[in-house]
Amino acid sequence: MKTIASEWEAFSRCIPSGAPEVQRNEMRRAFYGGCTAMFALLVTQVTPGDEVAEADMDMMHSIHNEIKKFSLDLQEGRV
């Protein structure tokens, strides 16, 4: 099973090998902060019950679109 820690390990490979420890620590804090924010969104915004509501799917699509836009902006140097 994948964990946040295993995702961090994969992500952290993009940090330059010569980066100072403070940069690595701050990036880890930001990574886990993002995970915490996403978890909070899911926990507080998902419709209670066993069925997936249309609003839940709308939220997931919105999150997906926001991530895709950020990725594109990053690739094109806008962020």
pLDDT digits (tens, 9 = 90+) for 29-46: 999 999 999 999 999 999
Report the SS3 class of residue 29: helix
* Closest to 14 (Cα-Cα) out of 32, 34, 28: 28
Token pair, residue 49, equals 């019950």
Task: Please name the residues in contact with 46: beta carbons below 8 A apart, sequence gap of 6 or more.
Answer: 56, 59
Q: For 47-76, what is each residue's pLDDT tens digit?
A: 999 999 999 999 999 999 999 999 999 999
Please enumerate, as own/partner, the contacts of 26-31 that have beta carbons within 8 Å and a separation of 24 or more: none
pTM assigned to the model: 0.81
Domain boundaries, the chain: 1-45, 49-79
- Looking at residue 47, the DSSP 8-state letter turns out to be P
